[in-house]
Amino acid sequence: MYGGVPLRTIKEALLKLKAQGELHRVKMVDLTNCTFDGHVYDTRRVMEECLAIKPDLIFLWDEAWFGFAHWSPLLRQRTAMGAAAVLTEELAKPEAVTAWEEQQKALGDSPSEDVLLATRLVPDPRAVRLRIYQTNSVHKSMSALRQGSIVLVKDVDFEHVESQFHEAVFTHASTSPNQQIIASLDVARRQMQLEGYGLVANALQISLEIRRQINSHPIISKYFKVLSNAEMIPDSFRQSGLDDYNDPDISWGKAIQSIRDDEFLLDPTRMTLSCGHAGFDGTTFKNILAEKFNIQLNKTSRNSILLQSNINNTRSDIALLIRVLVDIAMDLETKITENGEGYRTVFAQQVRELVDDLPKLPNFSCFDDRYREDATADTLHGDIRRAFYDAYKEAECEYLALDSQELDKRLQSGPTLVSANFVIPYPPGFPIMVPGQVITQEIVDFMRKLDVKEIHGFNKALGLKLLKR
Ligand SMILES: Cc1ncc(COP(=O)(O)O)c(C=O)c1O
């Protein structure tokens, strides 16, 4: 699933499996916190409610981008380990048992799925096994060398899995320690222990300043905008009503309420800068910034780029960024006023295509029947591994050009199109198809509209790789 996954969706999936007698097969919930775009979960609530449905669930929080958050007293509670510490303390209190007993009484013997979805579920502390893992790419947000990443473990049953855990690490990594990386992790740890709170406060301050300067600048704001909290997170996931970190009347009370209550919080250090109104797609704009202005980015979307503030930033970085955006905006102003009507029409059309005419992201469709245990069951799961290995057998695969009429015919009247590959366009950077997945009209429409050059798992000259029927 892309982006932040609403808690309701997770609960629905677990409750459905429970109703089908399949809940015992669910071992782990794996979520990315925060997402690349900055969506931060309410880690405590997600774990509490999931544990209320299955008390021995394991949680793997991918906090590759969020390691620094430990050094913000506000953000820490939204990290896996911050929430784990609170949960350990809260579940040990006698009130936790009373709360569970009272909720059980109120829910009655067989509460409906709707009631369970609408209730903030509390777990039974006597049944819960707290098993929480957090991956943390120290090198992404702190001062470690590339590959300086760690796994944090808070697992009451770790002693039973420790040897397998080490074996798994050695299977996937070199068995020879890399002293340079380990030393850099030590340096990063020491730096954060000594100066972390100040450095992170600085990174947060810098991001607020960048947001303010870009969105209030008389020329820059005509073409560029840092998207607000409301534009990044739908209202129903922002119970506090905090719409924008730049609201002039924002109070500490509201900020704290947002951190405590909102289902999703926007990591302030991640700024999505929309560039569609300047007529740039994300990749073109990224290349201009890199080639002409020596500003490096690593994430773009069709009409935006992602800016990040880090613990190393200074006010000079803000000044540089603003000057560059002023230069680019002034250049656009000149072209729009000095070039003729023809230029303005083309520019307006370009903006429309980037801002309004967006290809709709397709949701996961389903696996082909042959990769499902029970093709009549109302479930989405399938045997991706078998499909992946089936695709190794060339004789069982075929290719169809994306713009061919044959493809349209197959969509209309079969046989079903089944993907042999992971197909990952960048941007957005996550799979649009996985091995064994049925290819639908929605997916083909999206692929045909895509104008990005980097599509992993797809060779335009050959076409879509399919598993034969
Ligand atoms: C969400 C997410 N998780 C994990 C990783 C990989 O992290 P590492 O560099 O520690 O392997 C990335 C890398 O970009 C990422 O974006």
- Three-state SS for 231-297 is HHCCHHHCCCCCCCCCCCCCCHHHHHHHHHHCCEEECCCEEEEECHHHCCCHHHHHHHHHHHHCCCC
In this predicted structure, what is the pLDDT of residue 64? 94
Q: What is the DSSP letter of 437?
A: B
**Residue ID of nearest Cα to ligand 1 atom 8:** 137
Confidence of residue 359 (pLDDT cuts 50, 70, 90): confident
In this predicted structure, what is the pLDDT of residue 452? 74
Nearest atom of ligand 1 to the alpha carbon of 147: 9
What single-letter amino acid sits at 313? N
In this predicted structure, what is the pLDDT of residue 259? 92
pLDDT at 2 over 80: no
Ligand 1 within 6 A of CB of 62: yes
In this predicted structure, what is the pLDDT of residue 141? 95
Angle between helices 315-338 and 282-293 (to 10 degrees): 110
For the CA atoms of 16, 20, 23, 26, what is the dihedral angle to 10 degrees? -80
Ligand 1 within 6 A of CB of 304: no
Q: Which of 229, 234, 346, 353 is nearest to 303 (CA)?
A: 353
pLDDT at 357 over 90: no
**Residue ID of nearest Cα to ligand 1 atom 13:** 64
**Residue ID of nearest Cα to ligand 1 atom 10:** 137
How many Å apart are CA 462 and CA 127, to the nearest integer? 54
Nearest atom of ligand 1 to the alpha carbon of 146: 9
**Residue ID of nearest Cα to ligand 1 atom 12:** 64
pLDDT tens digit string along 318-352? 999 999 999 999 999 999 999 989 999 999 999 99
pLDDT at 308 over 80: yes
Q: Domains (ranges, CATH) in the chain?
A: 7-173 (no CATH), 193-232+263-355 (3.90.1150.10), 369-467 (3.90.100.10)
Ligand 1 within 6 A of CB of 141: no
pLDDT at 115 over 80: yes
pLDDT at 170 over 90: no
In this predicted structure, what is the pLDDT of residue 297? 87
DSSP 323-354: HHHHHHHHHHHHHHHHS-HHHHHHHHHHHHHH
pTM: 0.91
Kindly give the distance from the C-alpha atom of residue 152 to the centroid of ligand 1, in angstroms, as a whole number.
15
pLDDT tens digit string along 193-213? 999 999 999 999 999 999 999
Kindly give the distance from the C-alpha atom of residue 61 to the centroid of ligand 1, in angstroms, as a whole number.
12
pLDDT at 451 over 80: no
Kindly give the distance from the C-alpha atom of residue 137 to the centroid of ligand 1, in angstroms, as a whole number.
7
Ligand 1 within 6 A of CB of 32: yes
Query: C-alpha distances in angstroms, 416 versus 63, 409, 439?
Result: 38, 10, 8
Kindly give the distance from the C-alpha atom of residue 300 to the centroid of ligand 1, in angstroms, as a whole number.
16
Kindly give the distance from the C-alpha atom of residue 127 to the centroid of ligand 1, in angstroms, as a whole number.
33
**Residue ID of nearest Cα to ligand 1 atom 2:** 64
- With residue 306 as reference, give the H or E element that holds it: strand 304-308
In this predicted structure, what is the pLDDT of residue 429? 77
Q: Which of 35-39, 185-189, 375-379 has the lowest mean pLDDT?
A: 375-379
pLDDT tens digit string along 240-291? 999 999 888 888 888 899 999 999 999 999 999 999 999 999 999 999 999 9
pLDDT tens digit string along 390-425? 999 999 999 999 999 999 999 999 899 999 999 998
Any idea which residue has 């050009």 for tokens?
401
Please answer whether residues 12 and 239 qualify as being in contact, where contact means their C-beta atoms are separated by less than 8 angstroms. Answer: no
Please choose from 35, 137, 141 the residue to mutate so as to test ligand 1's pocket, defined by most ligand atoms within 8 A of CB.
137
Per-residue b/e over 141-169, b at no fewer than 16 CB within 10 Å?
bbbbbeebbbebebbeeeeeeeeeeeeee
Ligand 1 within 6 A of CB of 31: no
**Residue ID of nearest Cα to ligand 1 atom 14:** 64
Nearest atom of ligand 1 to the alpha carbon of 62: 3
In this predicted structure, what is the pLDDT of residue 255? 87
Q: What is the DSSP letter of 456?
A: E
Nearest atom of ligand 1 to the alpha carbon of 35: 1
